[in-house]
């Protein structure tokens, strides 16, 4: 009986923990990111960052951004990876799952590219654990009325 967990995690702890587990599948050599889309306390879809299906991953080819010394948050087009948030939205679309009104739990604050997708997908709330230096993303979320909440790292 010593193995029984006595306290249930909060919903935020639960969903962020799942996002962190999802991030372990990431193949980016710079940052492992996981995302989970949730609605009515139910998981809709998840995603992690990595190259598109059938394409060699950065952990196999090396990171072009690192080779070119591209700072974090700049020139996203030089990355072969699809971001975790993008993959979660894409997976939902592939399976006919509406994310309108959903909440996103993500290990990292979304970048400006992902924020545009999140806004247009109708996601209404974003929880994240680790910050990311992207002022444009914050500005767009603010203008769209999407609340962005950083959860503690425990």
What percent of the chain lies above the pLDDT cut of 90?
Answer: 71
Q: Tell me the average pLDDT across 108-122.
A: 96
Q: Tell me the average pLDDT across 24-49.
A: 95
* Count of residues in the chain: 154
pLDDT at 125: 98
Q: Which tokens sit at 151?
A: 């959860």
114 is in an annotated binding site: yes
pLDDT at 2: 58
DSSP string, 66-124: HHTTPPTTS-GGG--PBPHHHHHHHHHHHTT---TT-EEEEEE---HHHHHHHHHHT--
pLDDT at 19: 98
79 is in an annotated binding site: no
106 is in an annotated binding site: no
pLDDT at 64: 86
Q: Does the annotation count 85 as an active-site position? A: yes
Annotated catalytic residue: which of 20, 74, 77, 85?
85
Domains annotated for the chain, with CATH where assigned, are: 12-150 (3.40.140.10)
Report strand pairing: 125-130 vs 147-150.
parallel
Q: For residue range 47-104, what is the model confidence (pLDDT) as tens digits? A: 999 999 999 988 889 888 888 888 887 888 888 889 999 999 999 999 999 999 999 9
Cα 39 to Cα 17: distance, rounded to the nearest angstrom: 16
pLDDT grade for 3, boundaries at 50, 70 and 90: low
Cα 6 to Cα 60: distance, rounded to the nearest angstrom: 42
């Amino acid at each position: 009986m010593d193995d029984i967990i006595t306290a249930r995690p909060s919903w935020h702890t639960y969903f962020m923990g799942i996002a962190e587990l999802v991030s372990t599948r990431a193949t980016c050599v710079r940052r492992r990111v996981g995302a989970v889309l949730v609605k009515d306390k139910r998981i809709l879809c998840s995603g992690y960052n990595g190259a598109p299906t059938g394409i060699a991953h950065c952990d196999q080819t090396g990171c072009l951004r690192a080779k070119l010394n591209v700072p974090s948050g700049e020139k996203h087009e030089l990355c072969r990876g699809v971001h975790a948030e993008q993959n979660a939205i894409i997976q939902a679309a592939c399976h006919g799952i509406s994310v309108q009104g959903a909440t996103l739990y993500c290990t990292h604050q979304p970048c400006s590219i992902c924020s545009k997708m999140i806004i247009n997908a109708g996601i209404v709330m974003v929880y994240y654990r680790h910050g990311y230096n992207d002022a444009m993303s914050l500005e767009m979320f603010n203008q769209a009325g999407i609340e962005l909440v950083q959860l503690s790292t425990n």
